[in-house]
A and B are shown apart, each in its own frame.
Chain A
Amino acid sequence: MSLRRLDTTALIYLALAGVVAIGGIAVAIDGGNLFSTANLVDMFTRTSLTGFLALGMTLVILCRSLDLSVGYTAALASMVAATTMDGDPNRIVLGALAALLVAGLVGAANGAIVSFLGVNPFIATLGVGLIIKGYLDTEYKGPAGLVPTAFQQFGYSRIAFVPVSTLVMLALAAAGIWFLRSTRTGHHMYAVGGNIDVARMSGVRTKSTLMTAHILCGMFAGVAGLLLAARFGTGSATEAYSNLYELDAIAAVVLGGTLLLGGRGGIAGTVAGVLILAVLDTVFNVMQINPFAKDVLRGAIIITAVAIYARRQLSRTARRPRFAAAGTAADTGRP
């Protein structure tokens, strides 16, 4: 299967290359240079936030679950971090840990509702998101807390033209790839996503696998929250609302070739998906594309890309289904 996943991934990096090439040409015709240091920096900067969210999202989606609460979780985490640090450099570690812990707990809540209460992940995480929103709006009347300048570096400093946050994101991505490939829990995520009943009957601890995925997803959102805090210098709640971060993340994951139905895909692809979105953002900006046109283009491109992948998977499994009983568990499943 590694081989199979590899060539799918390869295709996605091809797509990325294509986007970069076309973007580069377009910008060049427009009289600019997409590969100027400034633009490269910009591109990478735009990867980190969506990146963190998409990494976590990949795990839950692989398990045939979903997390629509990541935006709110990130906002909550940024609040916790900022208010805990409260401008005191000595409390940075404490604040960061607190944020990750809270985010992890939110993930755990999601996981528990999905796997133990058997609520469809779409609804479960949508609900949890609303609960967090309610809490934040009631508890904080706006941005709160203060992030010490030392920690703001996480959001602003860069090595050569690669921002630190992006490096952290890539490091976590590498860790994620390793986790999925080399640990049992990671490996079992594919099984759980493939068919939860078969996985269970084969002795896989499906519930705890699902929990792990959700907890990790929450913690990734926590990291995203830390990034927000670092870049804002404070914790912000309103941030998450207007911009549907969760949808960005899901789009990145699917662009990365991971099946929304679970069981197939991986983090390497997701990184490419994130990059594609980032490149588009930069290109649009450099070319001064009208803000509304951006949405149209983004939407169209996402659909087209996924359609191309689908074509391929189609031709692959064109044979009659031999997999009667190893189908999908519609109850635990999600469209």
Chain B
Amino acid sequence: MSQAPVLAMRGIDKSFLGVPVLRSVDLVIEPGEVHAVVGENGAGKSTLMKILAGVHTADAGTIELGGRAVSFTHPLQAQHAGVATVFQEFNLLPELSVAENIHLGREPRRRGLIDRRAMAERTAALLSDLGVDDLAPAAKAKTLSVPRQQIVEIAKAMSQGADLICMDEPTAALADAEVELLYRLVERLRDKGVSVLYVSHRLREIFDLCDRITVLKDGERVTTVDTADITPDELVTAMVGRRIEAVFPEPLPGTETGEVRLAVTGGGNAQIDGIDLEVRAGEIVGLAGLQGSGRTEIAEAVFGIEPFTRGTVAVDGETRRITGPRKAIAAGIALVTEDRKAQGLALNQSVGANARMVLDANARVHSRARLARISGILSSLDLVSRGEDQEVQYLSGGNQQKVVVAKWLAAEPGVIVLDEPTRGIDVGAKHKLYAVIRSLAAEGLAVLLITSELIEVIGLADRIVVLHDGRIAGELPGGATEQQVMAYATGRSPA
């Protein structure tokens, strides 16, 4: 007779502004189990997790932890009840130190007063215990790079000695190399008998890590299965509701690589150096590299956010001094930024307003004809929304990303740089996006693709440029092996 499940959620309902997001969802997690929740963007995964974390309160349904019925109105209660959460959105305070962030809300106290020494010590202990030795407890969170921040978040969750740890897309900001660390941590938890609720769009992780999988679709639970009893394809079908044939679409017929559209020679600035890069019309060039290798820096340099201080940039053969986004846009360059919410979207504005933002902001590219084309672009991306005047904040991640892409396509650029375009979006949407990228190439755009998911680079790029420490470590043809890429990425040269 096994002991009571760590978590038993039954009949959970939740709706926002009258829009149902979860419909009588059940979820049961056994002690020491790693349980995956998967589903398309907007399926309700994060909402379910936030209910469990006490951020939202369910409209109906019961939650039992270790057999005891609970109902949370504040995250603190969830923490006390032994539920720790790594939220999907970044959840650190830039001005606070690593130690302060990790202990926020649970600061160690002596005689009622915060004991900063203890705080520092515990943090150091915790980090080394997690095998992260290069993180100073006193460092301000804002000085850390994205991956480091993510590690701090995970550490924060682990430090709570919870019996259930929920992770909402913990690897979204991590490149494959860092994912290894996470794997180790999850294994450790499982050994300690701690259960893990794991949300991810990366099937590989699901199958590597998880014991059982619950599939959500449109706020309803489709099924819960043992990982052993299901194949990736079946899982995808369950999630998306339709079969998705070959993950990476073939180049569209009539796609041929033309003349050079983007050429960077000897480019460099504070973060990167010696960048020689060519992207031809109809070509997809992938930028690979570890987290922090400077891929985004290249994107930002090309787009003039942090311009090159050395070297030259030529667009369509014409040398350009790109000192800012406006110059870049005028030159026909588009950048789909790494972080859509912070850098891509005005969340209170409508889908329409966001989609025409680039045209509105740049007289050089503004035209009635292009405005007229926007609706077409949106539907060609299969945007799922309640009409063009819905505020984008209410769209799920994938659809938000589509709006960002649409706003750039509206400007009809010659060069498009995509930085982590599939970060945090679901299989279906991803697949759609791959198709879009192909069609961009087919239309003769030069595509520079930055992604932390190696398979994507390998599957989509015609050429792969690998970065290491802000410099180009090597170049590989499309379809190269992961080993070859990782070799360059980690500074070795492939045998």
Direct contact of A and B (CB under 8 A): yes
Chain A residues engaging chain B, CB cutoff 8 angstroms: 1, 4, 181-184, 187-188, 190-191, 194-195, 198-205, 263-264, 317, 320-327, 330
20 more contacts with CB within 8 A, not counting A1-B95, A1-B96, A194-B96, are A184-B114, A188-B104, A190-B96, A191-B104, A199-B93, A199-B105, A201-B53, A202-B91, A203-B74, A203-B104, A203-B105, A203-B106, A204-B76, A322-B94, A322-B144, A323-B90, A324-B341, A324-B342, A324-B343, A326-B92
Task: Find the A residue at minimum CB distance from B300.
Answer: A320
What 1/0 flags go to B97-141 for Cβ under 8 Å of A?
100110011110100111000000000000000000000000011
The listed residue (B92, B306, B348) touching A320 by CB distance below 8 A is B306
- Also in contact, A325 and B90, with CB within 8 A (given A1-B96, A194-B95, A320-B300): yes
CB pair B146 A322 closer than 8 Å:
yes
For the complex, give the distance between the alpha carbons of A183 and B79 in Å: 20
Measured between C-beta atoms, what is the minimum distance from A41 to chain B in Å? Answer: 36
Q: Can you give 16 contacting A-B residue pairs, CB < 8 Å?
A: A1-B96, A181-B114, A184-B107, A191-B104, A198-B91, A198-B92, A198-B93, A200-B75, A202-B91, A203-B74, A263-B93, A264-B95, A323-B92, A324-B339, A324-B342, A326-B141
List the B side residues contacting A327 at CB < 8 Å. Answer: 342
For the complex, give the distance between the alpha carbons of A200 and B93 in Å: 12
CB pair B140 A4 closer than 8 Å:
yes
CB pair B341 A326 closer than 8 Å:
no
- Also in contact, A321 and B342, with CB within 8 A (given A4-B140, A182-B113, A202-B75): yes
Asked if B145 is at the interface (CB within 8 A of a chain A CB), the reply is yes
- Also in contact, A201 and B74, with CB within 8 A (given A183-B114, A194-B94, A320-B305): no
List the A side residues contacting B300 at CB < 8 Å. Answer: 320
Measured between C-beta atoms, what is the minimum distance from B179 to chain A in Å? Answer: 20
For the complex, give the distance between the alpha carbons of A15 and B114 in Å: 32
List the B side residues contacting A199 at CB < 8 Å. Answer: 93, 104-105
CB pair B93 A191 closer than 8 Å:
yes
- Also in contact, A325 and B306, with CB within 8 A (given A183-B113, A191-B96): no
For the complex, give the distance between the alpha carbons of A204 and B77 in Å: 11
The listed residue (B112, B113, B149, B156) touching A322 by CB distance below 8 A is B149
For the complex, give the distance between the alpha carbons of A198 and B86 in Å: 12
Measured between C-beta atoms, what is the minimum distance from A131 to chain B in Å? Answer: 31
List the B side residues contacting A198 at CB < 8 Å. Answer: 91-93
User: How big is the B interface, by class?
Assistant: 35 or more
- For chain B residues 250-305, which have a beta carbon within 8 Å of chain A? 300, 305
For the complex, give the distance between the alpha carbons of A9 and B105 in Å: 26
Task: Find the A residue at minimum CB distance from B270.
Answer: A319
List the A side residues contacting B106 at CB < 8 Å. Answer: 203
List the A side residues contacting B141 at CB < 8 Å. Answer: 326
CB pair B95 A322 closer than 8 Å:
no
- Also in contact, A325 and B91, with CB within 8 A (given A182-B113, A320-B300): yes
Asked if B389 is at the interface (CB within 8 A of a chain A CB), the reply is no
Measured between C-beta atoms, what is the minimum distance from A158 to chain B in Å? Answer: 33
Report, nearest first, the 9 A-B pairs whose CB atoms are least far apart: A203-B105, A324-B342, A325-B89, A325-B90, A203-B76, A324-B339, A202-B104, A194-B93, A182-B113
Asked if B8 is at the interface (CB within 8 A of a chain A CB), the reply is no
The listed residue (B55, B93, B107, B348) touching A195 by CB distance below 8 A is B93
Asked if B394 is at the interface (CB within 8 A of a chain A CB), the reply is no
List the A side residues contacting B89 at CB < 8 Å. Answer: 324-325
For the complex, give the distance between the alpha carbons of A323 and B79 in Å: 24
Measured between C-beta atoms, what is the minimum distance from A202 to chain B in Å? Answer: 4
- Also in contact, A263 and B104, with CB within 8 A (given A324-B343, A325-B89, A325-B90): no
List the A side residues contacting B100 at CB < 8 Å. Answer: 1, 187
